[in-house]
């Protein structure tokens, strides 16, 4: 699962100084939109990676990779990005296999079943998150700069 946290201590000094002057920027609804934009981009990159690996047998895994809603835990806002929901069997019946479990099997590999067939590790998520770090961080930095500019006039 990919997770985006915003921790003021990780920001550069310029942003930190501007944040300390802002009153509760993290509670600004515009900040949620920045997190959603960054998480949406990561979800798109993860789906593209699954496509490139040829994992579109049914399309359920690819289509299930999406961001959650903004959550708050321990004073930090975050969004999780992972395969959500359950697999559908033919005929539309719900299967007991979660898409997250199938995603895990493709990330780390499975030696034997049941419920999954032997699967080689493809590392579709970890590598993509690492590759996307700079791009997603830039989306968050630029969004935060825009919020601060609009709210602080600077």
The count of other CB atoms within 10 Å of the CB of residue 91 is 5
Per-residue pLDDT at 23: 46
Q: Determine the Cα–Cα distance for residues 143 and 140; give it in Å rounded to an integer.
A: 5
Enumerate the β-bridge partners of residue 4.
Answer: 79
- 69 Rama class: left (phi>0) / alpha (psi -120 to 50) / beta: beta
Per-residue pLDDT at 35: 92
Cα 88–chain centre separation: 23
Per-residue pLDDT at 48: 94
Q: Determine the Cα–Cα distance for residues 65 and 47; give it in Å rounded to an integer.
A: 7
Q: Is 149 in contact with 34 (CB distance < 8 Å)?
A: no
- Residue ranges in the chain whose pLDDT is less than 70: 1-26, 90-96, 112-118, 152-154
Per-residue pLDDT at 13: 58
Q: Determine the Cα–Cα distance for residues 142 and 75; give it in Å rounded to an integer.
A: 22
Q: What are phi and psi of 18, to 5 degrees?
A: -70, -35
Omega into 57 within 30° of 0, i.e. cis?
no
Per-residue pLDDT at 145: 85
């Amino acid at each position: 699962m990919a997770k985006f946290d915003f921790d003021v201590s990780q920001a550069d000094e310029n942003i930190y100084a501007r944040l300390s002057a802002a009153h509760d920027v993290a509670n600004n609804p515009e900040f949620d939109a920045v997190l959603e934009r960054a998480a949406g981009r990561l979800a798109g990159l993860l789906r593209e990676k699954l496509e490139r690996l040829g994992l579109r047998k049914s399309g359920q895994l690819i289509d299930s990779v999406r961001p959650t809603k903004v959550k708050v835990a321990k004073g930090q806002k975050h969004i999780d990005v992972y395969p959500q929901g359950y697999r559908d069997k033919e005929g539309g019946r719900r299967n007991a296999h979660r898409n997250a479990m199938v995603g895990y099997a493709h990330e780390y590999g499975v030696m034997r079943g049941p419920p999954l067939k032997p699967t080689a590790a493809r590392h579709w998520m970890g590598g993509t998150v690492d590759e996307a770090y700079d791009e997603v961080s830039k989306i968050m930095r630029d969004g935060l700069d825009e919020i601060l500019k609009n709210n602080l006039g600077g």
